[in-house]
A = this chain, B = another copy of it.
């Protein structure tokens, strides 16, 4: 297993330049090396990364698509600034997509998937940092999405993937340890989801996924630390 996230590189066989720039920049953004709101000028990035403006331009557009970079009306780009409201926004999309995927996965659940997921949960139990848990959580859901076999569901989910990483990362930088309570709750929640998926009932799986992802919404902002370091009350998501 690779140590880096299974991030959505561009097409595999392709020229690696724009992908390299995008990967490096993505990492710098999600790790906080480039803080929210930082200016991203093409010439600076070009010399920094030792390439010309072309690839930088394309990389920035890709990161825009991933929601990590925003362009203003004049064409200038900055690292996105996310508020709790934005996180709620993202979570709505996440819940929608993961619920749909769960309903389909329930219909094609097999032992191979069970093994993958349970192995992931086992690693989660052995984790001691939020960063590790987060990485495993993302991998867990990536596996579920892929199991659904619905290509566009997956690509759409991936398009918000990085934003989740960014938000969670900003949370973790403020609070790296994880309590055994939180960990146990996380593990339990994932086990429940696996059970629901294994049950083969689409409706139950859908609801379990919604509950699971919704749990994160209720939990994450309650740490009270916004990505910009300020504290604020989370904007809430109406649950039906």
Contact = CB atoms under 8 A, between A and B. Distances in A.
Interface stretch (A30-38, A129-137, A153-161, A179-187): A153-161
A92 B104 contact: yes
Contact of A100 (B93, B152, B153): B93
Given A15-B75, A202-B238, A240-B202, A96 B89 contact: no
Copies of this chain in the oligomer: 2
A199 to B, nearest CB: 12
A30 B75 CA distance: 28
Nearest to A89: B152
A151 interface: yes
Contacts of A14: 73, 75
Contacts of A219: none
Given A13-B74, A71-B11, A73-B12, A104 B152 contact: no
Contacts of A202: 238-240
A58 interface: yes
A107 B11 contact: no
A76 to B, nearest CB: 11
Contact of A156 (B73, B107, B160, B239): B160
Contacts of A104: 92, 238
Interface in A81-123: 86, 89-90, 92-93, 95-97, 99-100, 103-104, 107
Given A92-B152, A203-B240, 10 more contacts: A11-B75, A15-B75, A86-B152, A89-B150, A89-B151, A92-B150, A96-B100, A97-B97, A159-B159, A202-B238
Interface of A: 11-15, 57-58, 61-62, 65, 67, 71, 73-75, 86, 89-90, 92-93, 95-97, 99-100, 103-104, 107, 150-153, 156, 159-160, 163, 201-203, 206, 238-240
7 contacts: A11-B73, A13-B74, A65-B65, A86-B151, A93-B150, A104-B238, A156-B160
